[in-house]
Amino acid sequence: MAEKVEFELVSPEELLISQPVDMVVIPGGEGHYGVLAGHVPMITTVRPGAIVTYEDNRVTDRIFVTGGFAEVTEERVTVLVEGALKVANLDRAKVEQDIKNFGEDVEDAKTDEERVKALTNLGIAQAKLIAILDDNSGH
């Protein structure tokens, strides 16, 4: 039996997940990376995207996160995020409308602050759409 890594997903409000898994794949700031038991310790940023957990070589969960930080040790990976939602609960039509609306917000922004907020929201919405499309394609 393969050694497990303890996966914890934490939001400011609560501990969302705490369970042993075979592997967890995280959308890191420099790209996706997989964590298995015995991983080299590190701390990284997490960008908007789907965290994917695996058991017995199959996907067991896909959770969209809006970004945050991950701490990896040899036994545990703890991901601290502002928000999380199961990819299966994302509504593609709503996400596509959000992309359109946030794109318009970027164009209509009157200040740098408004533009940065709109670009951030647009990036999160685009990452949600990618997660939905990946989920539908079986990745």
* pLDDT, tens digit only, all 139 positions of the chain: 579 999 999 999 899 999 999 999 999 988 999 999 999 999 999 999 999 999 998 999 999 999 999 999 999 999 999 989 999 999 999 999 999 999 999 999 999 999 999 999 999 999 999 999 987 765 5
**Same domain assignment for residues 81 and 108:** no
Residue whose token pair is 């989920």:
135
Whole-model pTM over 0.75? yes
**CA 100, CA 110: separation in Å to the nearest integer?**
18
10 Å CB burial of residue 134 (0-12, 13-18, 19+) is middle
| Host domain of residue 121 | 90-137
**Same domain assignment for residues 81 and 105:** no
How many domains are there within the chain?
Answer: 2
Among 58, 87, 76, 71, which Cα is nearest to 28's?
A: 71
**Same domain assignment for residues 11 and 68:** yes
**Same domain assignment for residues 74 and 115:** no
